[in-house]
Amino acid sequence: MGAYSGFMNTETMDGRWEELISIGRLMWERSLIAGTDGNLSLRIGPDRILATATGVPKGRMKADDLVVIDASGRRISGDRDASSEIRVHLAAYAVRPDISAVVHAHPPAALAMSLAGIEMEPPFIPESVLSLGPVARAEYRTPGSMELAGVLEENLRCHDAIMMERHGALTLGRSLEEAYNRMESLEHTAKTIWMARALGPVEPLPAPELHRLEDLARKAAPEHPRQRDPVCRRGLQDTGPEEISSLVRDVLARVRERS
């Protein structure tokens, strides 16, 4: 009980910390992270985010290894600081009111494929379209930097799964379970494509079937920004930088003020 006293005194978390601890353990058990890699966060209120603290092995966390922060990254409760990588999570929450959880891991097969320059798009299997959605790719920037959060903003607005070059993956969800499932699905898909390529040439889904699956995905999630956000609908390449940047710029400016 003592391990939880800091949180119990300062913030009611309704047991949400248990979700982060159990998903952290699962990420480590499934080899999606090693050592102190990765981080998790969960939106628990309009301006409250429960996140993993910096330098903690995510497979063996206690409640004291978590921290509550506000939308600018200011610590509200907990004894430790959030990871510098939390900037990316804050950028995600700023542009995606529809999501409540962000998972960041270093999934080895997906990362190896990205290092080797092998794309997961266009998709090879239906599951990639139906549960994962298009996997975006973000250019390399130093992990934890403002620059990384900046280059990710376009991808965060329309995608639930993003590969960050030479670094790892980011998945978003309406719940922590959903965000984690996408991470697991991303790595599973990467392994499957890898094995298939070792056996012989592999073709992506034929275009007519891809369109059919995309239609099913649209009908299953009509509220998703990919369906509703004009920026996602008309394609990010047509988007002016002003339109897409303001929300993330605000968050990063507030984070910068505090660092």
**Which of residues 138 and 217 has its CB atom nearest to Zn ion in the complex?**
138
CB of 223 to Zn ion, least distance (A): 29
Comparing CB distances to Zn ion, the nearer of 113 and 217 is 113
Residue with smaller CB distance to Zn ion, 34 or 125: 34
Nearer to Zn ion, 123 or 168 (CB): 168
Residues ≥6 apart with Cβ < 8 Å to 30: 184, 187
> Closer to Zn ion at the Cβ: 57 or 143?
143
The two tokens of residue 24 are: 């952290």
Shortest CB 137 distance to Zn ion, Å: 16
Q: Considering the complex, state which of residue 108 and residue 143 has its C-beta at the smaller distance from Zn ion.
A: 143
Q: Which residues bind Zn ion (CB under 5 A)?
A: 143, 168
**Single-letter amino acid, residue 79:** D
Give the residue nearest to Zn ion (CB).
Answer: 168
- Minimum CB distance to Zn ion, residue 259 (Å): 18
How far apart are CB 148 and Zn ion at their closest, in Å? Answer: 9
Minimum distance, C-beta of residue 221 to Zn ion, in the bound complex (Å): 27
| SS3 track for the chain | CHHHHHHHHHCCCCCCHHHHHHHHHHHHHCCCCCCCCCEEEEEEECCEEEEEECCCCHHHCCHHHEEEECCCCCEEECCCCECCCHHHHHHHHHHCCCCCEEEEECCHHHHHHHHCCCCCCCCCCHHHHHHHCCEEEECCCCCCCHHHHHHHHHHHHHCCEEEECCCEEEEEECCHHHHHHHHHHHHHHHHHHHHHHHHCCCCCCCHHHHHHHHHHHHHHCCCCHHHHCHHHHHCHHHCCHHHHHHHHHHHHHHHHHHC
Closest approach of Zn ion to the CB of residue 170, in Å? 9
